[in-house]
Amino acid sequence: MNETIESNTSSSANKTAAPCELDVVFETGIRQPKFGVDAKSHLDILSAFERVLSAKNISADPSKNAHYRTGWRSGEGSALAVLFPQTLIQLWGSLKIAVSHNLIIVMQAANTGLTEGSTPSGNNYDRPVVIINTRFLNALHIINEGAQAIGMPGATLYQLQSELIKINRAPHSVIGSSSLGASIVGGIANNSGGALVKRGPAYTELSVYAQIDKHGELILVNHLGIDLGNNPDAIIQTLSDGSFATQGLGQGQRKASDTLYQARVKDIDADTPSRFNADPRRLYESSGCAGKVAVFAVRVDTYPVAEKQASFYIGTNDPGDLYQLRRLLLSKLDDLPEMGEYMHRDMFDVAQKYGKDTFLSVLYLGTKRLPKMLSMKGAVDAYLNKKTWLPEYLSDRLLQGFSRLFPQHLPKRMLQYRQQYEHHLIMKLSGSSVAKGKTILQNYFDNKQSGGFFECTTTEANRAYLHRFAAAGAAIRYHTMHSKDVGDILALDIALKRNESDWVEIFSPDIEQHIEKKLYYGHFFCHVFHQDYILKKGANAHHVKKLMLAQLDQRGAKYPAEHNVGHLYKADDPLRDFYKELDPSNTFNPGIGKMDKNQRNCNCCL
């Protein structure tokens, strides 16, 4: 077993980060075989996994593991087995077996991705596929007196938020997928964004990960900035035990968050987006890896919670008002807004009706139970879908009907603004920006007939943010409930230029003719938008998407902005190069970004 202490170069496509003195890479001597896997050996492979994991932590029955082979919104594929390691040692052992048998590896945590990036896609792979689900590997360590945290691959954002709230700190993300059980590592691996304006994309240069090099050899990289041991097994054992220092930890010049993002957002005249998945600035090893390496641990910054906060609800019929307010607030406020969430009136209506059960579940049961409830719903759906005599989407129809039994759940002033205004923005300010921001709003709307604002009560603010949170699922529910009358649902995730004034989308007739309903919502100050389109019956979704993306290209927009390419978007050249450098043999998550699924650099060709 060879040990290599790194110099001033990095194994990542991003060459800017300086190493930490504790950086180390270990070779294992475990290599992919020269020849492919014979179907007759599948039982031998499963037996090998069983010796490491035990039979109860392996699901090889397609009828029982469909939930893990199916994407959150769309997509599914076949797999030899779904593995559920209970310890990091079992994860390491599973990787060794997968590499030594030349298997495709799909890493998966909560499976909350929206672009099919954490499941297989189809059945046209050249090697057997195993899914390694890491949700049980959820250890979490608060370090450096709460300023940072180390999360294992299954640790969730909600879990981190629950720990940090005890010390008046906050994680990178506190709304959206964080409430669905999304993992910390998943956010890092996909450069996930979020609602918090100051944070930027999830990012770190400090992690431990396993990689397969160009010779097909499994290696372990420790770039966590912590001395964990002098060989791979020792490192994995130390991480598993949590027997490492937690205070006074340095990190060299490596970063544990995107510390430059606030300056980017404030650069309101820039002719480029503030953040998007393929941004080469933020592709670094585990960050943006999209499952092209197996991440064991990440080290991330945490953030102080502002003591003084206030929320404002803004409505207008002139999109130019929101454009001007965005420029005023980002340029005049010393302390950036905490949040700025946009909803179009059509999305407001759909979320009000079709997101009501999600809204009520979180309101009365809390977000802690939501991931388990959604997992149970997925299992129930998988079972019911086998009963051909039952109506389609039975659980959704029951939940939708049940939600109608409850009274109106949205505050009166929000409903009044829905009647008056087409465009809605819920904004949270903190510290000195509360008074200054309120003054900016008052001065702007003093002589305006097109819009207005009000300062929210605590109840109004909580319900406004929860309403916005329910929007994404509501679009899917709407499509489900009207599936007989409409075509496909097409979901885009885009980043507009920071100086884009015409931010409201206007389609040409050749696109508009195919659309039944347009649903817009997003992170307004970052100029990142989620745009869900319900197509008309018979519309060709692939053709319509191609036309839409061509129009976005003309506008200088980037996509996807924060959900990553998965199997739905074509990766740009810099992103393709990054994936190839991380995974030269194309063993981890092949096919993402519309790339080739076949093996590269196999031993028989070297």
> Could you give phi then psi for residue 132, rounded to 5 degrees?
-110, 105
Query: Count of alpha carbons within 13 Å of 197, Cβ hemisphere only?
Result: 25
Residue 110 annotated in ligand binding:
yes
Residue 176 annotated in ligand binding:
yes
Residue 118 annotated in ligand binding:
yes
Judge contact between 252 and 18, C-beta under 8 A. yes
SS3 percent helix, strand, coil of the chain, rounded to 5, is: 35, 20, 45
Residue 192 annotated in ligand binding:
no
Residue 528 annotated in ligand binding:
no
Residue 290 annotated in ligand binding:
yes
- Closest by CA to 237, choosing from 93, 43, 367, is 93
Tell me the DSSP string of 530-554. Answer: EEEEEEETT--HHHHHHHHHHHHHH
| Angstrom distance (rounded) from CA 279 to CA 275 | 7
Say which DSSP state 77 is in. B
Judge contact between 256 and 205, C-beta under 8 A. yes
Residue 113 annotated in ligand binding:
yes
Judge contact between 300 and 156, C-beta under 8 A. no
Q: Would you state the structure tokens that stand for residue 453, as one six-digit string? A: 């604002």
Q: Would you state the structure tokens that stand for residue 136, as one six-digit string? A: 């049980």
Tell me the DSSP string of 551-606. Answer: HHHHHT-BS-SSS--TTTSPPPHHHHHHHHHH-TT--BSTTGGG---S--S-GGG-
Residue 98 annotated in ligand binding:
no
Contacts of 510 (CB under 8 A, 6+ apart): 547
Residue 112 annotated in ligand binding:
yes
Q: Would you state the structure tokens that stand for residue 539, as one six-digit string? A: 């519309």
| Angstrom distance (rounded) from CA 4 to CA 164 | 36
Query: Count of alpha carbons within 13 Å of 116, Cβ hemisphere only?
Result: 18
- Alpha-carbon 320 to chain mean position: 30
Residue 284 bridge partners (DSSP)? 287
Contacts of 125 (CB under 8 A, 6+ apart): 77, 104, 590, 591, 597
**What is the residue type of 605?**
C
The annotated binding site for FAD is made up of 109-113, 117-118, 176, 183, 193, 290, 295
The annotated binding site is made up of 109-113, 117-118, 176, 183, 193, 290, 295
